[in-house]
Amino acid sequence: MKIKVLDVDTMGRDINFGILKELGEVELVGFTSADAVISTIGDANVIIINKIMITKEVLDACPSLRLICVFATGYDNVDIKSARERGVAVCNVPAYSTDSVMLFCVTAVLSLISHMNEYRGFVSSGKYTALGMPNAITPVFHEIKGLTWGIVGYGNIGRRVGEVARVLGANVIVNKRTRAEDIECVDIDELIERADIITLNCPLNENTRGLISRERISKMKKNAILVNVARGAVTDEEAVADAILDGTIAGFATDVYSKEPFDKTSPMMRLLGCDNVILTPHAAWAAYEARSRCLEIIFSNIKAFGEGKIQNRVDI
Catalytic status, residue 231: yes
Tell me phi and psi for residue 69, to 5 degrees. -110, 120
- Using DSSP, how many helices (H) and how many strands (E) does the chain show? 11, 12
Catalytic status, residue 282: yes
Catalytic status, residue 115: no
Long-range contacts of 115-119 (CB under 8 A, 24+ apart): 115/139, 115/141, 115/275, 115/276, 117/275, 117/276, 117/278, 118/275, 118/276
Distance (Å, whole) CA 120 – CA 193 = 31
Which residue among the candidates 25, 215, 260, 289 is catalytic per the annotation? Answer: 260
Distance (Å, whole) CA 77 – CA 6 = 13
Which residue among the candidates 115, 160, 282, 291 is catalytic per the annotation? Answer: 282
- Side by side, the strands of the sheet bearing 225-228 are 184-185, 171-175, 148-152, 197-200, 225-228, 251-254, 277-279
Which residue among the candidates 66, 216, 231, 291 is catalytic per the annotation? Answer: 231
Distance (Å, whole) CA 253 – CA 274 = 11
Residue 100, Cα to own-chain centre: how many angstroms? 10
As annotated, the active-site residues are 231, 260, 282
